[in-house]
Amino acid sequence: MKCQCVVFDMDGVLFDSEALVLQCWELTAEKHQIAHVRSTCQKCLGINAAAAKQQFLETYGADFPYDKYKAEMSALYWEHVQAGKLALKSGVREILAALRENHFAIGIASSTRQVVIQKQLAMFGLENSFDQIIGGDMVQRSKPEPEIYLRACEALGIPPGTAYAVEDSYNGIRAASRAGMHSVMIPDLLPPTAEMEQLAEHIFPDMQAFQEFLFSR
């Protein structure tokens, strides 16, 4: 069957937010002398809040004051957002318009909480651009498990095998692949690995290249 649905991850795919989060974690880490925070954050790419907390505790110990530092990082992140430092990724508005014009179903499956997804979409006037939005707080099992993508496809009424999943993170591609979707990687902070080249059906340098693939055939 021809694919007539695209489900997007959000951070690092629609918004240049992963780089901003990393910057805020590095500022927080410098203040509190938290070692190797960049590599720890990279392990958290694509996973939800609960899984990210677990990763930090495994790295720094059970007594690590994660909630305190996460709140401090988050406050810094929103200061930056309010100052206009959150950017929409190049090509996002164009592909969303093309998908709508060509009657594609459009969804989001992001490990970020749904309320944050809605808030950031509204900041850029995109709150009505998606048919279904599934956040990381709406599922029990974080990416790389496939639950969030299966939930998104169910909400859209689309079989997973007839939908593209657009991801930037390793955990996201693993989740989409396990869900049986046509996984598309557009790298952000991390380059493709041999595993990603095997799991992702397509790897594109940017959103414009994905749009050309969809509509120039």
Sequence-ordered alpha helix ranges (H) in the chain: 17-32, 37-43, 49-60, 66-82, 92-101, 114-123, 147-156, 170-178, 194-199, 207-215
Tokens of 107: 């969804």
* pLDDT of 2: 80
Number of other residues whose CB lies within 10 A of the CB of residue 205: 9
- β-pairing, 202-203 vs 132-135, is unpaired
Average pLDDT (210-214) is 96
216 pLDDT band, cuts 50/70/90, is confident
Q: How far is CA 39 from the centre of its chain?
A: 18
- Alpha carbon of residue 100 to chain centroid: 21
What is the predicted pLDDT for the residue at 147? 98
How far is residue 38's CA from residue 22's CA, in Å, rounded to a whole number? 7
For the record, the structure tokens of 35 come out as 């070692």
